[in-house]
Amino acid sequence: MKKNIILMGPPGAGKGTLAKQLKEALHLVHISTGDMFRDAIKAKTELGNLAASYINRGDLVPDDVTIGLVKERLSQPDCEAGFLLDGFPRTLPQAEALEEIAKQISRPIEVVVNLDCDNEELVRRISGRRVCKNCGAPYHVVTMKPKAEGVCDLCGGPLYQRKDDNEEALKVRLEHYVAETKPLLDYYEKLGLLESFDSLVGKEQLFDEVKNFLNK
C-alpha cells in the first residue's frame, strides 16, 4: 500500500472530502493546512489572526509560516504510519522544503494524487459548500445534503459557509492555483510521482478508484 501521499487539485476539487474518506479506510494521518489555519482562527491565536488576513481574501499564507507548521506536524510520531497532505505544497518553495523535510524524517513522498475538475463545477461546488463548525465535514446544499438541514450527520454540529467561499475570494484562489500550484504538477510528473483522477465521477466512485490505486 502507498503511504505518504500528497493530494492536489484546485479549490473545490474534492481534496478534503476524499482525504476524510481515505483517512478512515487506510488509517492515515490527514494533514490539511487549510484546516490547521481554520482551527487557529477559531482559537483566536496569533497564527490564526495572521492566517485570517490572507485566507479571507483568497490569498496564500506566506511560505515560511506554512512550511514551519507542516514541518512540525510531520515530525510527530503518528505520521510514521503514513500521512495524507491536503493543500500542501502549493508553491515551488513549499515543494522544495517538503523534499528536504521528507529526507530529514525519512518518510519520502510515495505518490501525488491530483484531482482534475473543470472551473464551472468548481464554482458550483464552492458556492454550495457548507462545512461543519465542529468536525469540518463537508456538505453541499444540492449534491451532498445532510439528513437534517444545517446539522452535521456525523457529530450534530452546525453547518456554516466558509468566509472564503464567495465569488471574489474564489477568483483570487483560482488565480493563485493557476499561477503557483498548477506548475507543481509538472514538478511531480518529472519526479514520476503524479497520478491524476477525474473528480467529476462523483464522491463514491472517486474514493473507490483512488483507494484501489493506493492499495496496489
Residues with active-site annotation: 15, 90, 129, 162, 173
Q: Does 11 interact with ligand AP5 (rule: CB under 6 A)?
A: yes
Q: What share of the chain is helix, strand, coil (3-state, %, to 5)?
A: 50, 15, 30
CB of 87 to ligand AP5, least distance (A): 3
Give me the phi and psi of 122, to 5 degrees please.
-60, -45
**Can you point out the beta strands (E) in the chain?**
5-8, 29-32, 83-86, 111-116, 129-132, 138-140, 159-160, 194-198
Looking only at the bridges linking them, the beta strands covering 83-86 and 129-132 are unpaired
CA angle (27, 71, 17) in 5-degree steps: 40
CB of 83 to ligand AP5, least distance (A): 14
* Other C-beta atoms lying within 10 Å of the C-beta of residue 71: 15
CB of 35 to ligand AP5, least distance (A): 6
* Residue whose CB is less far from ligand AP5, 34 or 48: 34
Q: Determine which residue in the list 6, 184, 206, 210 makes contact with ligand AP5, applying CB under 6 A.
A: 206
Q: Determine which residue in the list 73, 163, 203, 211 makes contact with ligand AP5, applying CB under 6 A.
A: 203
Q: Does 17 interact with ligand AP5 (rule: CB under 6 A)?
A: yes
Q: What is the DSSP letter of 158?
A: B
Candidates 39-47, 57-65, 149-157, 187-195: pick the segment binding ligand AP5 (CB under 6 A).
57-65
Q: The C-alpha cell of 183 is what?
A: 506548475
Q: Does 138 interact with ligand AP5 (rule: CB under 6 A)?
A: yes
Q: Does 136 interact with ligand AP5 (rule: CB under 6 A)?
A: no
Q: What does the binding site for ligand AP5 look like in residue numbers (CB under 6 A)?
A: 9, 11-17, 33-34, 37, 54-55, 58-61, 66, 87-88, 90, 94, 125, 128-129, 138-140, 143-144, 164, 173, 199, 202-203, 206
